[in-house]
Copies of this chain bind each other. A is one copy, B any other.
Amino acid sequence: MNANVKSINLPEAVSATLNIDQQVFRQGMSNLGAAVNVITTAGLAGKAGFTASAVCSVTDTPPTLLVCLNRSASVFETFKSNQVLCVNTLSSSQKHLSNVFGGKTPMAERFEKGDWSTLVTGAPILEGALVSFDCEVVQSLSVGSHDVLFCHVKGMKQQAGEKALMYFNRAYCEPVPMV
C-alpha cells in the first residue's frame, strides 16, 4: 500500500495519509488550534514550569482538568514529586512567557520574567493570566512517551477583559469573534 495517498480525484489542497508517522501527526495536530498555558509547580521537590497546549477540561463533577507531560522532560520529576500544579492560561500580551517557559532558559530565570503569587496549593500563579487553575494531581496514566496528569481544581483566579493567546498553524494568534 502506498504510504502517502494523494488521489488525483482530490483537489490540490486536500491530502490523505494512511501511514501516520511522528512528522505527519505533528503536521495534522498543527491544525488543531489551542490555548497556550504555562504550567507551574512548587513544593518539596522545588519550583518548575513549562509551556503546554495539551491541556483540557475533563469533567465538572468534580472540577477536573488534564495536562499531558513528557516523561523525558527536565521538569517531569519535579511535577511528579510535588503532586500540585497550576495551569496559567496566557493572555496575548504574555506571548514572551510562552517562549521563556517553552525553551532552554534556566528555571530560575524563567520565573524572573513574570510576577507570581499563590492561592491554595502553593503552585505559582501568574499575574495577568487569563485564568489560573490551582490544582492537586489526583491520578496519572502513562500513555506512550507521556504521562497524563488528572488534576482537581482547588482554586481559581481570573482576569477579565484580556485577549487570549492561541497557537494555530505553527503561529501565535488571537481569537477574533465571528460576526
A167–B25 CA distance with the chains assembled, in angstroms: 23
A42 to chain B, nearest CB (A): 17
In the complex, which of the residues A32, A133, A168 has the most CB atoms of chain B within 10 Å of its own CB atom?
A32
Check A22 against B56 for contact (C-beta < 8 Å).
no
Q: Looking at the complex, which of A43-51, A78-86, A108-116, A151-159 is the stretch in contact with chain B?
A: A151-159
A120 to chain B, nearest CB (A): 6
Closest to A148 in B: B58
Check B18 against A155 for contact (C-beta < 8 Å).
yes
8 A Cβ contacts from A1-54 to B: 13-18, 20-22, 24-29, 31-35, 37, 53-54
Which B residues lie within 8 Å of A70 (CB)?
59
A167 to chain B, nearest CB (A): 9
Check B61 against A145 for contact (C-beta < 8 Å).
yes
Interface residues in chain A, defined as those with a beta carbon under 8 Å from any beta carbon in chain B: 13-18, 20-22, 24-29, 31-35, 37, 53-66, 68, 70, 89, 92, 95, 119-120, 130-131, 133, 139, 141, 143-146, 148, 150, 153-161, 164, 166, 168-169, 171-178
A140–B28 CA distance with the chains assembled, in angstroms: 23
A37–B56 CA distance with the chains assembled, in angstroms: 14
Check B58 against A56 for contact (C-beta < 8 Å).
no
Q: Do A60 and B119 form a contact, CB below 8 Å, given A17-B155, A28-B131, A157-B16?
A: no
Check B56 against A130 for contact (C-beta < 8 Å).
no
Check B14 against A32 for contact (C-beta < 8 Å).
no
Q: Do A32 and B13 form a contact, CB below 8 Å, given A92-B178, A153-B20?
A: no
